[in-house]
């Protein structure tokens, strides 16, 4: 296993260069890694490449990158061949949140990796053990849950599956520090740590609004001013999307129990198309989607 001077892996692969994959590629490039993004077709690879190089350019312009744009770009490649991951120390899968798609992608990537290489998934809700079930080397598989937008988010949840090697967890912890972020290690439980706590607070805030306890503004102020949260739970639900939150609440209520049951108000607003910032209306009115 090779690391760069910063302690990041020397060769990193990212499968899927969409919103999250491009951000993950950006993070490792800035830490000195060589990064290969593999996409499903040439058009998507071109779009992923543009996304990554644009966000690198932003960091260079802001003075937050140690290297020149050309030096960073020289360490980056985008392709459509999973075989290009062959020499990677770590591959992070960031394809859409679909179990079948992820299992297919992960098994194809594992087949080209060296036995000691690490394989990770950026899944935000699928069980790491479920994904590991069809892998040949589940001990080398771990969850690396980045947050959106990756360049501005300092947290990474390391999700330890039943079969994940303890040494890989430590290695992942060091890699997360090397890219300038803070790791937390969580067991493979529904919602991990972040979604479970965040959604619990958001759902209770919606129930309080439903019960007429206070206005949306005042419920949010209770948390932003009283508890120093950067954004109140209802405004945050608007930003994330009410449909996204409803989906997570349904999943958590099925796996963890009734306490995560979606409030009627949330269901009604989603049915009415009031999805938050992206539709211009949620618990607040938003200027532009
Ligand atoms: N968006 C978020 O806020 C967020 C936050 C944390 C985690 N996640 C997780 O990250 C993952 C990716 O989410 P996203 O928001 O970046 O999605 P996205 O749709 O922006 O990107 C997915 C990318 O995967 C590519 N892709 C699809 N099939 C592929 C294949 N077979 N091989 C290679 N590439 C393929 C697509 O072309 C696309 O570029 C999901 O598991 C999601 O749950 C998302």
pLDDT, one tens digit per residue, over 168-184 is 999 999 999 999 999 99
pLDDT digits (tens, 9 = 90+) for 105-116: 999 999 999 999
> What is the per-residue pLDDT for 125?
85
84, pLDDT greater than 80: yes
Q: What is the mean pLDDT of residues 59-64?
A: 95
Task: State pTM to two decimals.
Answer: 0.91
Residue 148 pLDDT:
86
The pLDDT value recorded for residue 1 is 60
Tell me which residue has tokens 């392709």.
79
Assess whether the C-beta atom of 121 lies below 6 angstroms from ligand 1. Answer: no
Model confidence over 135-150: pLDDT tens digits? 999 999 999 999 989 9
CB distance 101 to 15 below 8 Å = no
* 243 phi, psi to nearest 5 deg: -65, -40
CA distance 112 to 106: 10
Determine the residue of 24, 38, 124 to mutate for testing ligand 1's pocket, defined as the one with the most ligand atoms within 8 A of the Cβ atom: 124
pLDDT of the residue at 5: 83
Q: Which domains does the chain have, with CATH numbers?
A: 11-187 (3.40.50.720), 195-279 (1.10.1040.10)
Q: Give the β-pairing of 141-146 and 155-160.
A: antiparallel
For residues 204-217, average pLDDT = 98
Cα-flanking dihedrals φ and ψ of residue 283, to 5°?
-75, -15
Among 14, 19, 23, 156, name the best residue to mutate to test ligand 1's pocket (greatest count of ligand atoms within 8 A of Cβ): 19
């Amino acid at each position: 296993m090779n690391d760069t001077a910063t302690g990041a892996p020397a060769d990193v692969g990212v499968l899927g260069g969409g919103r999250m994959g491009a951000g993950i590629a950006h993070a490792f490039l800035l830490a000195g890694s060589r990064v290969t993004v593999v996409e499903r077709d040439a058009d998507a690879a071109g779009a992923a490449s543009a996304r990554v190089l644009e966000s690198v350019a932003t960091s260079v312009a802001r003075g937050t990158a140690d290297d020149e744009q050309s030096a960073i770009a020289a360490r980056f490649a985008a392709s459509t061949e999973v075989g290009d991951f062959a020499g990677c120390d770590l591959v992070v899968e960031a394809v859409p949140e679909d179990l079948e798609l992820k299992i297919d992608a992960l098994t194809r990537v594992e087949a080209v990796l060296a036995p000691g290489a690490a394989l990770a998934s950026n899944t935000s809700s699928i069980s790491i053990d479920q994904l590991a079930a069809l892998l040949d080397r589940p001990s080398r598989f771990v969850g690396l849950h980045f947050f959106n937008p990756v360049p501005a988010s300092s947290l990474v949840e390391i999700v330890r599956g039943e079969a994940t090697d303890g040494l890989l967890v430590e290695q992942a912890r060091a890699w997360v520090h090397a890219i300038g972020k803070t790791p937390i290690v969580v067991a493979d439980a529904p919602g991990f740590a972040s979604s479970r706590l965040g959604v619990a607070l958001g759902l209770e805030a919606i129930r309080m609004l439903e019960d007429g306890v206070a206005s949306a503004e005042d419920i949010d102020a209770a948390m932003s001013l009283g508890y120093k949260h950067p954004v109140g739970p209802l405004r945050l639900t608007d930003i994330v999307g009410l449909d996204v939150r409803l989906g997570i609440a349904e999943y958590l209520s099925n796996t963890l129990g009734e306490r995560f049951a979606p409030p009627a108000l949330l269901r009604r607003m989603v049915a009415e198309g009031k999805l938050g910032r992206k539709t211009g209306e949620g618990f607040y009115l938003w200027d532009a989607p």
